[in-house]
Structures are given as structure tokens and as C-alpha cells.
Chains A and B, each alone.
Chain A
């Protein structure tokens, strides 16, 4: 951990696809233990921003500092030298992500999905990892599914496995990209419960979500994004209860009705 207490420092992230600017100099700082919910209308650039944080999406300009290290680069003599994809992979291993469509590995059992990163990437001993993985699966309530394949699980169960897979990496922070958007309504609750538990246990989390109620209950800070930038951010009472910006009020009014 670096001195500032910041685990993540995104500076002026810009990304465009052709003429279409998706992110316009977006900056965000996250401290250890913080739970940050990113809300906003679709097309605001929320998911793209989240994906630049672990360089699944390379920003056109701007810097992402993870634990005092520039993501995708090496700092030398005051310059940033771009790293090969292999080296970037090692940086990514300090983070973890949960996807909208789960993206579990269908050819591996639930247990092997969870063990894949710690064993193959972090090269930790399989026996230790197995014990940890079973423990993490117990935390998401899926101990009895360890030997099942993802194809045999419901959507909610799959997403809980995906969360277990991310947690098993012991990441500095967890990125959630609309984790409940692809779920049937009755399955949303079980996933949000697991996420609330993680937040309560002090996990640093960035959550792109449409679940305003979840943000209200769990977030330390809410970030409202629209039109490729951050419009407003602050504690729940400010952004969700008494938003300062008209754009935020407009959005919340539409969503909550």
C-alpha cells in the first residue's frame, strides 16, 4: 500500500471510438475499503470507464494508477513506457472483475473456475487454494455446487460463482460491471446480498449498477455519470437524496418512478 491510502487513482481517462467520445477526461480516486457505486443512463460510459481501470479497454489518454503503479505502463525517468500484454496481465492479477454475463469458464467445474486464477496466475499451492476456494464458495452459499459445471447452475448461482472467482484472487479492489442486469428479477436479490456481505467485510468495490436501492444501502460514495463524464459524486445523502445537479435529479426521477 502506498502512503496516500489510494488504491485506485484514475486520471483524466479519455476514450473514443472513431468520432464518438465515450469518456472525456474522467478522473476518480478510490481509497482502500471504499464502496463506490457508479450510476447513470446507458451510454454514459460507465462500463467503458470500469473496463479501463483494469485495462480490458486501453484508454486513448489518461493514467490509471493501481496501488501506486501505472496500469499498462512502467515508470522510468519520469516517462511512462508501455508494457507488453504479458506484463499487463501480471498487473491485472492484483484486481478482479465481475461481468454482466458472468463469463464463467464452461469447461471447468465451479471449484476449478474459482481456483484458476490463484493457481495458474498467482502460482499459489493448489492444496491451500482449494481450501480457500471452498471457503469462498461457502461465503456465497454454493459449497454443494463445487463439482457442478456452470451450465448446471441458475443465473444467480453463476454470478455468485463469478464473485467467488473474483474474491479468490484476493484483489486490491473488485470491479462489478452491471452484475445483476442479465438476471431474472427474482434472482437479483441473492447476488446483491452476497455483494452487501462483501462490502460489510471491508472489500474495496467499484460497482456499475442500475440498482439504486442497492447503492443507497451499501455505497460509501455514489458517482453519477452522463455524457462521457462524471456529473456529480459524493455520499449517498448528497447524490441520491439531495442531488445538486439538474442532470442527476432528472435521471433519478426517471429511474425511481
Chain B
């Protein structure tokens, strides 16, 4: 009875958004506040309000604080948030589409594909005319898009029914191959090892506002597309045939959803490298707390995903301060056990019928 009332409480969608929103706000404030120089939360709020609305003057605040907040911590937190949100919503969409709770941009190999695109752009300094600074995300997106279709085609070739494990195995094969390819490329251009690790395990440090401008339009575009396809995702998580019977134009919607997922992943990877497991852990947790309905799962994943990555980034830069860990180390430490847990749970469910 108690459990039921707790579930009912959590099922209330308004409360779900309040909880997820508060979590994000809490993460943002914590992420800006903590560091080598600690900034009081009240000061942060003052700085942000004055910057946003210009009502409060910040004359009496230490200019060092405002400089740290506005030029260093805030862009970093926002970037981490956007990357986390992109990966989480993309993961939720991939999972729904493939009926596969283990799918996320990382386990599917899409992140690695995008990474190849980004590394190619940066190390050969490719810059396409007209689009200029958007060459980086566009090539990443193109590569992630190609990777997802390759992975799915390959998995289908192995087994028509595309079992969960088959897809993931295929993704991991692609992932290691592409990862090795990235390492090779960076090494051949003569850069240092840190760079390689940065791309393989991901990082959001020292990026600044410029990178936020790169990811933001793609994040907005991809998220809107996915949220408008939430119903179709619901139908498709019952199988493509079932979705077809319900009236979903499966081929078209599948293409749209995979493309939107690639846009989000590509853009996120272009600014931060391959950060693993965010897209696995966050949708899984959100589904556990608030149910699998994609109309709510997708927005809630955005909120919790961004909060989660902001906190992960905070830990990665403070835990062995002043040295910074790649953020992917933290997400993998949390994500890999969750991955194992989901796998175990699935097997147990299959066995019990």
C-alpha cells in the first residue's frame, strides 16, 4: 500500500517536472559555486539576475567573482548541461525506437562515429565554405548518422530479429574500431596523449561560449523533432509491426528519429568528445521513476541528463584537484555497473517469462 502511494506520488507528472527541474537548478548552482575559488550561491544568483535582467547592480560584488562565474564556470556548466541533455534524450529515443534499454549513443558506436568526424575536422583543419565554424558539428553529425545506419544494417545482417544483445555487440565492435582509428589519427598528427584521451573519454573543459553557440541550435532542433515524435516512439516501443498497425508510418518516422538522434549525438560529441553511458543511465532512471511514456520521458531526460552531467563534470574537476579527470571516467564508473544491472534484470525477466 505504501509503495503504491509512493508510485502514485511519483507518477504525478507535475511533481516529476518539479523534481527534475529542481535537480537541474541545484546542479547548476553547485557546479558554478564549487571550484578552486568558492563562489557563494547568493552571489551567483545576484550575478545571474543582473546579467539576465539588469535589475540588480553588481557593483558591490567582487569583479573576480563575476569574472569566474561569467567567463569560466557558467559556460562550462551550460556546455556540460547541453551535452548531457543531448546525449540523454538521444539515448531515450534510441532505446524506444530499438526497444532496447541498453542502447545509447555510446554503446551503439554512434558517439565514436561522430568523434571520428570531429577529429578529422580539427586535425586536418577542414573548414567548409559558408558554414564556417559549423563545419565541426556538421561533419560529426554526418559521421554519426552514417555510423548508426551502418551499425543497424550490420546487426540486421547478423540476425533479422535484431536482438538487444546483437545490436549492442555490433555497436561495441564499431566503437572499438573507430576509437582505435581516432587514436591513430591523433598520434599520426603528432599531438600529445592527453588529446587522445580527451576525445576518447570526453571533456568539457576550456571550451567557452563559442562551443555553446555551436551545440545550441542542434540541441534545440534535435530535441524538438524528438519531442514531436514522442507518440510514434511510444508506438514503436511495441515493435515496428505493431506501430504500423496503429497507423504509424514506420519507415518515415524511423528515419526522422534516427536522424534527430544523430544530430544530437553529433553536436554533443563535436564539443566534448565521446562521453559514455549518459544516454543509458538517465533514460533508464527516468523510466524507472516516472514511467516509459515518451511524451514525458524525453523532456524529463533532458532535465535530469543535463543535471547529471553538470554534477559529473563537477566531480571530475574537483576529485583530484588541481588535476582534471576526463568526464567520461566518472560517467563510465556510474554507467557501466548500471549497464550490467539492466542486462542482468533483462535476463532474469526473460527466464521468468
Do A and B originate from a single complex?
A: no
Task: Write the residues of chain A forming the contact surface with B, with a CB cutoff of 8 angstroms.
Answer: none
Task: Write the residues of chain B forming the contact surface with A, with a CB cutoff of 8 angstroms.
Answer: none
